[in-house]
Amino acid sequence: MKYVSTRDRSIQRSFEEALFSGYSSDGGLFVPQYLPNFSPEDLCSYASKSFPDLVFAVLRKFISIDEVTDEDLLTICQKSFHDGFDAPSGACNTHWICIHCRTLLRTYLLLQGSRYAGRYQSTLLL
């Protein structure tokens, strides 16, 4: 995935370049060139993941495997969110993840507009 400047989308950088440069040369911030797809199945599968595995699954959508291997990214996530990590109370609780996944799914589907409106209308009402 490429990252583009918020001020000039023609300025594109890799994840590593964007991470280590901080700001774009035009003073803008780097943001993903596009938002990756999170299917309803992806979102529902997140409920059974540990917090480090959940972070890994989301980051994998934004960071190319060519830049950071699965093994390295998983190690980074596990070391960053280890057992002593102070997550919000119940953050690794399946119920908490389900509630947030539903909220994320609802927001995502609303942003997608009519493309999913009929197909997942019942999900939007959750």
The model carries a pTM of 0.64
pLDDT 10s digits, 50-101: 888 888 998 999 999 999 999 999 998 888 877 655 555 444 444 555 555 5
Question: Long-range contacts of range 97-104, CB-CB < 8 Å, 24 or more positions apart?
Answer: 97/46, 97/47, 97/49, 97/54, 98/47, 101/43, 101/44, 101/46, 101/47, 102/43, 102/126, 104/38, 104/43
Please report, in angstroms and rounded to a whole number, the separation of the first and last CA atoms in the chain.
32
CA distance 106 to 96: 15
Q: In order of start, what are the domains of the chain with their CATH numbers? A: 1-34 (3.90.1380.10), 36-124 (no CATH)
